[in-house]
Every structure is written in structure tokens, then in C-alpha cells.
Amino acid sequence: MIPPMPFPLEEATIASIHAAFRDGSLTATQLVQGYLARIEAYDRRGPSLRAMITVNPAALAEAARLDAAYQASKGFVGPLHGIPIILKDNFDTKDMPTTGGSVAMRHSRPASDAFTVDRMRRAGAIVLGKANMTEFARGGISVSSLGGQVLNPYDLTRTPGGSSGGTGAAVAANFAALGTGSDTGQSIRSPASACSLVGVRPTRGLVSRAGVMPNSFIQDEVGPIARTVEDAARLLDVMAGYDPQDPITALGVGKAPASYAAGLDATSLRRARIGLMANLQGSEERHAQVNAVMEQVVRTLEAHGATVVRFELAGYEALAANVSNDAYEAPAAFDRYLAGLGGPPPVASFAALVASRTAHPFVQVALEAEAALGGPDHPASLERIRNRERLRILVAARMADLGLDAILYPLQRVLVAAAGEADQPERNGVLSHGTGFAAVTFPGGFSAPTATAPLGVPVGAELLGLDYTEGKLLSFAYAFEQAARVRKAPLSTPALG
């Protein structure tokens, strides 16, 4: 039997965990035991979140190794020493399968860790397990043939957003300290919004995508999912960096600060000029609860010194409808991934995967549609690439005209979808994925409580800035977080014992 935790595990942060390591009240082994107990109690039992696909059988051994290293030297091996992290199950791990949520990939064992996973392990992180997701990251509801439907811990009748919804549900329910996601459309930020978390979609070139099962050469990004802005910034500090296996990261060399976490400034809103983009808010009754939360976000920003400018972006809708290029690129991107696994692939090709008809029915429809398109050199695909540059210029010019530091909007115009729905409606992630500009999603508030959502359903706000403005966006989100204290732990996964 696992002994009682000597430390309040729920809502723990990197800083609080490291302080407990230093004063001797906690070890990495105890911490991992505590998180494993929560996974055992709540992932397939209790609320049955179905957030996890694999739990790392070596996690306790890794924790013991780190404890021994700390005792020997009285020092941390790196900035994430002993911090348990859950990876979306499209991040390659050499010691666990990388499945993408697919029964066809359940035995796929890459030869090496993803670049970012290697950086996390070198920084001292403990990979606690791999999270469920929308199969192959095709959509926003987090359902897969291998893991089933992930449930939102704030409302067990709803999805947790997606496609990184397993990570979102797990981090929200305190299954680990940190998580990772990938974001082709809005797949980091959608679960951050739906699960009262912080998610970062970095500028293209800041973080390597190498070793992450892809959807797109152009749109894919990977980044942190955390309960606090500071923890997201600390993880981004570790993830960012040049990787010759993903040459686009050469564009990010010299663009990151010495530390995103060290640069957080609770007074940063005093100097901020933020635009609230009306195009990205609805005007029907179904939008009322999200709009109410956003108005409260605006009031808090203004109360702490920000100037909020309300504006519309003329021409946005026409371009935004024709910039997503992932469906044209997905088959070729997946085939390249299979060829790089370092051994016989679990399926021969994207075409063979589609023909196997093993995917969840919702995802199978998407895969078949992608197989029928003309590929990345199709004229429609090339026009979408041209539209991306047009949208970048349109957004940047409007920000310059208005003197804006960032653009604010709800990540999703309506509350997150119910479990069983085939898609996630009215999300606004295209502003970032269609331009490549940086975006940070953070907890904005909650809808009104209901019988199934006793705290209300989380509503995420998002800030977008130009290339490599992650530090500024994180500081604004941090200042709001410190002022508003929005996040609350879900009631469906209380403290154990």
C-alpha cells in the first residue's frame, strides 16, 4: 500500500515540488507514487477519464535514480529534476510505444526519443506515460481506436477539446505536473481552453517537430501544456532549441530569451495595448457564456493597466477559410515518418493505413478524405500556402495600424463539445496556425455551474503576437493569472485519502 503523500500533490508546481525536494519533505519516488495512484484511481476507475494510453513501467526506477543522484550531490541534474510529465502519444519514445491512438500503431517502438523528449529527459524530467488523443491528431474531440473517448474532468458529459485532449484531461486532473501537445490546427490550445490550463503554440522555428508523428510539414508545432503560466514557460525553456533534424529551427536561433520563466512580469499589463478581435466572437445565444467570460477578462486586463482596443479585421474570414493545408500534406508527411522509424514500420504506408480501416470511424472519414486529395503540389494546396502569407501580412498590418502588442479572443466561441459529437465547433485556432504567429491560451473563466459541471465549464482566452513574441505573451498571461486566479481543480478527481 502506498503511504500517504507528505506533500499536497494537487495543483503542485515545479517550484513547489523543487522546494519540497530541497527541504527533504518529498522525494521523486514519493511524487511518482502519488501521481500513479491518482491515475489508478481516476483514469479507468471513478470518473474513467480515459486520458492515458500507456503508463511508463520504468517511471519509479527513474525516480529512484534521480533521488540517488540528488542525495549524492545535493543538486538537481537539470531544471526539470524529478518532474513527472505526460507526453501526447505522438511524441516518439524509445522505451514505450508511440501509437498516435491507433490500434494499427500499438506496437510501434521508435528507435530514438523525439528531440524534445530527449531534452526533457536530459533536464531531469520523468516521463510518466503517454496520453490518449484524437487518433492521428485528426480533429478536436480526443477519441481514438486504441484509447476510446477522453472525458473532460470538469464535465464528464463533454470532451476535453483536442487533439491533445488526453494530455489536457491528465494535467487538469493532476495526473502529472506537466504535459506536452502537438498543434496542427489548435490541438494544444483547444484542451488548454477546455480544461482550464495554459497552452503554448510556438512560432514556427522555435521548437523542433522531429520525432513527433506529423500531419503537416507547414502547420505542425509542438509545445507545453501546464496548470500555470510559469510552468508552461519553464517547459518551453527546455523544449526550445535548434535541431538539425528539423532545419526550420535554424530560424529560431537567437530568437529565444535566456529564460521565458525568468522574464515573467506581473506588472507587464501596465504597458500593454491589446486588441479584442470582434470577428472571433459570436453574437448568438449559444455564444453568450463565452462572451461573458471574455468581458470579464477585458475588465481585469484594463484594471491592471492594459489598454484594450476593440476592432474587426476586414477580409479575415475569406482568407481564414482557405489557409489550412494539412489535409493535402498528411499522406506524404506520414509516409516520411514511417520511413524514419528505424525498422520495419507497423504499417507500410498511409495508403495501407487507410485501407486497413482500423481507425475510429470519425477519424477514418478524415483519412479517406485526405487520401483522395491531390497532395502538397496540388494547385489548391499551393493557393492555400499563398493565402497564409496574405493572412500574415493582413494581421501584422492591422496590429501595426492599431499599435497592438497582442490580439485577444476566445479560443472557442462556444462551450466545448459533448462527448459523442464528431467534431469540435467554432474554434479560433486558425489565426495562429494560418499565420505561424505565436499564441498562448490561458484560463479565462468558467461558464455557469450545472448539474454535470459543478464548477462550470472552463473557457480559455488566447493572446496572439507576431513571430517570436512568446515571452511577451507569456508575461501578459502571467499578469492576468496572478490578478484573476481563475484556475480551480476539477471536483471529479479529488485528493486521495
- Please, what's the largest Cα pairwise distance for the chain? 63
In the annotation, is 163 catalytic?
A: yes
* Helices 470-484 and 288-303, packing angle to 10 deg: 100
| Spatial CA neighbour of 176 closest among 48, 39, 6 | 39
DSSP helix/strand/coil, 274: strand
Out of 108, 163, 182, 216, the active site residue is 163
- N- to C-terminal Cα separation, the chain: 12
Nearest-5° angle of CA 404, CA 405, CA 408?
85
CB atoms within 10 A of CB 342: 12
Out of 142, 145, 182, 187, the active site residue is 187
Q: Which three cell numbers mark 321?
A: 477559410
Find the Cα–Cα–Cα–Cα dihedral 360, 366, 370, 376, rounded to 10°.
-110
Q: What is the DSSP letter of 372?
A: T
In the annotation, is 130 catalytic?
A: no
Q: Which three cell numbers mark 312?
A: 474587426
Cα–Cα distance for residue pair 397/406, rounded to 1 Å? 13
Which element (helix H / strand E) includes 148? strand 148-149
Helices and strands in the chain, H and E counts: 15, 13
Distance of CA 43 to the CA centre of its chain: 19
In the annotation, is 182 catalytic?
A: no
Q: Which residues are catalytic?
A: 88, 163, 187
